[in-house]
């Protein structure tokens, strides 16, 4: 695993957008899996700008959404579905056959997990871009979840529900999440974890220097042979 430190959020977003762009240029049939959240927003904006400017072919790529809050309709502006649609899928004009997002209104979430497991097992993931939660989670892989998990529904920790309120305009009941499991992170050909701001400094230190184990899911990054952590200098301030 490598750690790259850029000056600020703009710098790290540009660096990450360029990696995605290069991957797409090298492999138009790229399978890209991404987290939503505040951290990757600028990466998405820059990626869309670069793809449009360079007229990169996106008709063969596949997009997979990493996770979703259970029970939220896709038109809820705080949902991952809404985020992906507005930041990537619509601007890039991806066809419904090119993307896979969890349907959290489904009565059978187990089936949703099986469907996503089947997509990932048939296509594989070339590039996974994730963030990190304030308890070290990746996606909704909360502390204690085995690294061998495939897609699953997770009961969310209090801190995840509290911090998650930032995505919504009014108080929103959050209880469970559905997520791609860490087994698939390990099987992805390349994984990038993005973190910015002083608020992420402690979790970045734990992810990079702490013991590897399920108590802190992001520690799994230390074991990925093609894992990259990209942070700004503030988020890296406790590991420099
Ligand atoms: C959320 C999501 C994660 C995301 C993380 C960090 O709870 N489940 O997929 O990466 O928290 O979000 P942010 O980038 O807004 O800090």
Residues annotated as part of the active site: 67, 135, 137, 142
* 188-192: average pLDDT: 98
Q: What is the pLDDT of residues 29-83, one digit of tens each?
A: 999 999 999 999 999 999 999 999 999 999 999 999 999 999 999 999 999 999 9
- % the chain with pLDDT above 70: 100
pLDDT at 211 over 90: yes
Ligand 1 centre from 183 Cα, in Å?
Answer: 19
Ligand 1 centre from 137 Cα, in Å?
Answer: 8
Residue 53 neighbours by CB under 8 Å, 6+ apart: none
Ligand 1 centre from 95 Cα, in Å?
Answer: 26
Q: What is the pLDDT of residues 1-14, one digit of tens each?
A: 999 999 999 999 99
Query: Distance between CA atoms of 130 and 114, rounded to whole angstroms?
Result: 21
Q: What is the pLDDT of residues 89-144, one digit of tens each?
A: 999 999 999 999 999 999 999 999 999 999 999 999 999 999 999 999 999 999 99
Q: What is the 3-state secondary structure (H, E, C) of the chain?
A: CEEEEECCHHHHHHHHHHHHHHHHHHCCCCEEEECCCCCCHHHHHHHHHHHHHHCCCCCCCEEEECEEECCCCCCCCCCHHHHHHHHHHHHHCCCHHHEECCCCCCCCHHHHHHHHHHHHHHHCCCEEEECCCCCCCECCECCCCCCCCCCEEEECCHHHHHHHHHHCCCCCCCCEEEECCHHHHHHCCEEEEEECCHHHHHHHHHHHHCCCECCEHHHHHHHCCCEEEEEECCCCCCCC
Q: What is the pLDDT of residues 140-172, one digit of tens each?
A: 999 999 999 999 999 999 999 999 999 999 999
pLDDT at 240 over 90: no
* 212-238: average pLDDT: 98
Instruction: Indicate yes or no: pTM above 0.85.
Output: yes
Q: What is the pLDDT of residue 202?
A: 98
Q: Whose CA is nearest to atom 9 of ligand 1?
A: 139
């Amino acid at each position: 695993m490598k750690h790259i430190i850029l000056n600020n959020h703009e710098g790290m977003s540009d660096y990450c957008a360029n990696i995605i762009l290069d991957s797409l240029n090298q492999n138009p049939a790229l399978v890209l899996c991404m987290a939503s959240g505040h951290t990757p927003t600028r990466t998405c904006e820059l990626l869309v700008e670069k793809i449009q400017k360079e007229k990169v072919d996106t008709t063969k790529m596949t997009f997979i959404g990493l996770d979703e809050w259970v029970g939220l309709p896709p038109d809820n502006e705080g949902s991952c579905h809404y985020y992906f649609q507005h930041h990537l899928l619509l601007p890039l004009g991806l066809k419904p056959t090119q993307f896979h997002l969890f349907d959290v209104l489904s009565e059978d979430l187990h089936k949703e997990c099986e469907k996503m497991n089947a997509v990932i097992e048939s296509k594989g993931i070339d590039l996974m871009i994730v963030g990190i939660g304030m308890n070290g989670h990746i996606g909704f892989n909360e502390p204690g979840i085995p690294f061998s998990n495939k897609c699953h529904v997770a009961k969310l920790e209090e801190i995840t529900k509290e911090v998650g309120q930032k995505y919504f305009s009014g108080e929103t009941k959050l209880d469970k999440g559905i997520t791609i499991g860490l087994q698939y992170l390990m099987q992805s050909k390349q994984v990038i974890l993005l973190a910015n701001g002083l608020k992420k400094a402690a979790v970045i230190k734990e992810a990079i220097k702490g013991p590897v184990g399920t108590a802190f899911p992001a520690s799994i990054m230390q074991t990925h042979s093609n894992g990259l952590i990209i942070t700004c200098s503030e988020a890296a301030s406790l590991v420099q």
